[in-house]
A = this chain, B = another copy of it.
């Protein structure tokens, strides 16, 4: 997923191009890690004085719906990162900077027979800690 991909998705779905949207996506591409709404606001404010929370949250949710971003919840705050659009995997997540490392193993493969009669809708496997850079 790069900036052009994401903007094409927006265009194809009939959403308008704005420089704020471009910059939000660009930030995610550059940072390549989990960011919060507040992170975004702090990054955008210098270039767009008075930018509204509404704009940030509305676009985060839009991008999430359109499959441009994926999200997780850490310490009561939603975090977003660019969607990994290759094969299914999980993440180690650095609690300090939000950077991720892919974990190829998916535990769901091992347990399908344990949940007969249960309707399985989703699963989450995340490893938390500190990345080498932040140590």
Contacts and interface: CB of A to CB of B under 8 A. Distances in A.
B131 A127 contact: no
Given A73-B76, A76-B76, A121 B129 contact: yes
Nearest to A122: B128
A123 B121 contact: no
A125 B78 CA distance: 18
A122 B111 contact: no
Interface string A54-85: 00000000000000000001001010000000
Contacts of A135: 119
A125 B104 contact: no
Contact of A114 (B104, B119, B132): B104
Interface of A: 73, 76, 78, 92, 95, 101, 103-108, 110-111, 114-115, 117-132, 135
